[in-house]
Chains A and B, each alone.
Chain A
Amino acid sequence: MIEIPAALWSSFRRSSIPLLGALAFLVIWEIACRLFSIRPILLPSPLMVLHELAASPAWFAEQTIYTVGITLAGFAAAVVFGVLFAILIVEWKLLERLLFPLFVGLNSVPKVALAPLFIIWFGVGDTPKVAIAFLIAVFAVVIDTALGLRSVPPDTIDLARTLRGSRLKVLLRVKLFCAMPHLFAGLKVAMSLALVGAIVGEFVSSQRGLGYVILSAQGMFDTPRVFAAIAILAVVGVALIAAVTVIERLAMPWHHSTERHEHWRITGPK
């Protein structure tokens, strides 16, 4: 037998377990479709979906890039405005009492219901879709950032007070760093919500993007194509969250959730 280094084998096993689950799911699906001769218009088999994707990869890639672009634009806007809003309401109690109930109220309105309104305001271009992605994503950013900014330990607050640091210094050197673990938890939620928002926007009015692909294929009862778009969405969703996780690790080299991985890599598995 070939000797596989223990560390390599173990890391392969770790990373392959999630894939194994997905693979088993696909195999059962494929067998079920063949065994019960399910009509493709109801449920196409995974191989048919793969075939659909392989038929026009460039076209699917183009639609995917458009949807990812809308998602990232909405997400970026949600991060910038969400973090700023959270800082404002945490730093000024009056603003919190003034604006936070309004913000919660607005968030309770289903964003899908606002989508047609955005078409009236912003036309049929990219703007209304980015706006919807932004609106759906921003709540998670605000809630988690505000929670994080308030999570400074009492001793650290006392320290800052005895050092007579300015409010800006306390915010920049202490509060923002304290908020980061919470912020990144919020960003992961916000990223998947922004993707939902982008699809909702494309459903309402679009000539491009995966949402448009799903809607137009459904109009022609082209179920394999619907599934192809959904499969891409699933992969894109996982990739976007993974990207946030990578940025999280790079942004917080001091944090324990990153340290453990470092430690593991150096010493190897036990």
Chain B
Amino acid sequence: MIRASQVVKRFGSSDKSVTALDGISIDIEEGEFVSLLGPSGCGKSTFLRCLAGIETATTGSLLIDGKPIDGPPDRLGMAFQRDALLDWFDVLENVLLPADFGGKRKRDYEPRARELLAMVGLKGFVNAYPRALSGGMRQRVAMCRSLLLDPRLILMDEPFGALDALTRDQLNVDLHHLTQQRRMTAVFVTHSISEAVFLSTRVIVFSPRPGRVVADIRIGLPRERRLAVRESKEFGDYTRHIRGLFEKMGLIHD
């Protein structure tokens, strides 16, 4: 579905440019859940923004369904680090925003919006304003918003980075359920190893800037996952392996 070959992204003028991505080549199949894992500032968010069509690669080719990306693709859902909820609309209006912006009738999508909100336990907050919600609740609303139009591709840029560990675990479970419910391809940017392994069918490890692909790991855990899977031996093997890669890059010292 996605084919990136030798994608390079530089920022700034030629003499003082900063290379964010240095020859990224990745193929992503339909239905995969791929995590881009790496230290802060390694260019993984930049790569995601290139996929979203809001940043263009300096050189290299980036194809979706064989066509070059020249703007936000069709049926795209996106979630951001800061949830980007609109403070002046209530929760339901926020979730319905993609329908509104897409020129569709909001009333047709209201049942789906309510269903999504109920799935993440926000049934009672449909008419609350975002500022009345906690950080975790806000990210749940943002998740529902990105899923409203049943996207084929969902891109998430460290959506849980600012949350406490407990809330983060719960949202990982919620996200897992939501993405399991409908078939979609997901690309998830994170710097949490266990989050990446828990959610993904595949983890791609980035090096520090300039971003390069260091490892491409298939996660052979069962498709349906519970938090308890994190105590299993296989899970531990994956996280240990990835932590080893980070140690080799000099990112973690013991």
Binding site for B on A (CB under 8 A): 153, 155-156, 158-166, 169, 173-174, 177, 180, 252-256, 259
Give 23 pairs: A residue, B residue, CB < 8 Å, sorted on A. A153-B82, A153-B84, A155-B80, A155-B82, A155-B83, A158-B52, A158-B80, A159-B78, A161-B54, A162-B52, A162-B54, A163-B72, A163-B97, A163-B102, A164-B72, A164-B101, A164-B102, A166-B101, A166-B103, A169-B101, A177-B86, A254-B87, A254-B131
State in angstroms the CA–CA spacing of A54 and B43 once bound together. Answer: 75
**Interface residue SS majority, chain B:** loop
Q: Which residues of B contact A253 (CB under 8 A)?
A: 129
State in angstroms the CA–CA spacing of A173 and B83 once bound together. Answer: 17
Q: Which residues of B contact A259 (CB under 8 A)?
A: 131
Binding site for A on B (CB under 8 A): 49, 52-54, 71-72, 76, 78, 80-84, 86-89, 97-98, 100-103, 129-131
Looking at the assembled complex, report how far the CB atom of B134 sits from the nearest CB atom of chain A, in whole angstroms.
15
State in angstroms the CA–CA spacing of A239 and B45 once bound together. Answer: 51
Is the pair B52, A252 in contact by a Cβ cutoff of 8 Å?
no
Q: Which residues of A contact B81 (CB under 8 A)?
A: 155
Q: Which residues of A contact B86 (CB under 8 A)?
A: 156, 173-174, 177
In the complex, residue of chain B having the shortest beta-carbon distance to the beta carbon of A169: B101
Is the pair A158, B100 in contact by a Cβ cutoff of 8 Å?
no
Is the pair A158, B102 in contact by a Cβ cutoff of 8 Å?
no
Knowing A161-B72, A169-B101, the reply to whether A177 touches B88 (Cβ < 8 A) is yes
Is the pair B54, A254 in contact by a Cβ cutoff of 8 Å?
no
Is the pair B84, A159 in contact by a Cβ cutoff of 8 Å?
yes
Looking at the assembled complex, report how far the CB atom of B40 sits from the nearest CB atom of chain A, in whole angstroms.
17
State in angstroms the CA–CA spacing of A19 and B88 once bound together. Answer: 35
In the complex, residue of chain A having the shortest beta-carbon distance to the beta carbon of B90: A254
Is the pair B101, A252 in contact by a Cβ cutoff of 8 Å?
no
State in angstroms the CA–CA spacing of A166 and B101 once bound together. Answer: 7
State in angstroms the CA–CA spacing of A254 and B128 once bound together. Answer: 10
Knowing A173-B100, A256-B131, the reply to whether A162 touches B72 (Cβ < 8 A) is yes
Knowing A169-B101, A173-B100, A254-B131, the reply to whether A162 touches B78 (Cβ < 8 A) is yes
State in angstroms the CA–CA spacing of A255 and B129 once bound together. Answer: 10
Q: Which residues of B contact A162 (CB under 8 A)?
A: 52-54, 72, 76, 78
Q: Which residues of A contact B101 (CB under 8 A)?
A: 160, 163-166, 169, 173
Q: Which residues of B contact A163 (CB under 8 A)?
A: 72, 97-98, 101-102
Looking at the assembled complex, report how far the CB atom of A86 sits from the nearest CB atom of chain B, in whole angstroms.
19
Q: Which residues of B contact A180 (CB under 8 A)?
A: 88
Q: Which residues of B contact A173 (CB under 8 A)?
A: 86, 89, 97, 100-101
Is the pair A158, B131 in contact by a Cβ cutoff of 8 Å?
no
Q: Which residues of A contact B54 (CB under 8 A)?
A: 158, 161-162
Q: Which residues of B contact A155 (CB under 8 A)?
A: 80-84
Q: Which residues of A contact B72 (CB under 8 A)?
A: 161-164
State in angstroms the CA–CA spacing of A180 and B101 once bound together. Answer: 21
State in angstroms the CA–CA spacing of A166 and B84 once bound together. Answer: 18
State in angstroms the CA–CA spacing of A159 and B81 once bound together. Answer: 11
State in angstroms the CA–CA spacing of A12 and B61 once bound together. Answer: 69
Looking at the assembled complex, report how far the CB atom of B90 sits from the nearest CB atom of chain A, in whole angstroms.
8
In the complex, residue of chain A having the shortest beta-carbon distance to the beta carbon of B52: A162
Q: A156-B84, A166-B101 are in contact. List 12 more A-B contacts (CB 8 A).
A: A155-B82, A156-B86, A158-B78, A158-B80, A159-B84, A162-B78, A163-B97, A163-B101, A173-B86, A173-B89, A173-B97, A173-B100
